[in-house]
Amino acid sequence: MWGLKFIIKGITNIEEAKQKLYTRETRLGGYTSCETLFYDKAGAQSIVLVFTATSESDLFVGPASDSLQKDVEHISTQVVGARGFAGSNEEYVVKLAHFIRLYFPEEKDEHLFLLDEKVKEKLNNNVINVQSFCKEIDNIDSRILALCPKKRQFD
């Protein structure tokens, strides 16, 4: 399992960030939260706040069948055209898959990559959406690289 740890400094900034996350992820998104240990690639530990979707949420799609292909088909149908409080769901899937491929090339997340392909396939009729995602991804990559000159600096 992979993740990124964001460090926020200062009590006021930490509390403000937590409040915004709880509102977006828990109250609006139906996620649960917990603190857990995070291990970076060097093995250093820290406590992080994690948000997880559960079947108790009305927004939870969950597994549709015992078949990965059927699940991806079902989930991609739900994703395309859906919009949450933080943006479009297809944008989230495309950007997440791009990020994992770029910064964690050794990760072979079959479910995510199949979902990414299926979402792009379904968006194929609307080429403008895919092109705008690609332009925005390039802009995000530039901002990330400006902050972290070494491409693989992420934990």
In degrees, rounded to 5, the angle at the alpha carbon of residue 124 between the alpha carbons of residues 120 and 125 is 145
Catalytic residues: 25
Beta strands in 21-145 (DSSP E): 32-39, 45-52, 83-84, 87-88
Containing H/E element for 53?
A: none
Query: What are the phi and psi torsion angles at 44 (to 5°)?
Result: -70, 140
List, in order, residues 6 or more apart from 34 with CB less than 8 Å away.
49, 50, 52
Containing H/E element for 130?
A: helix 127-147
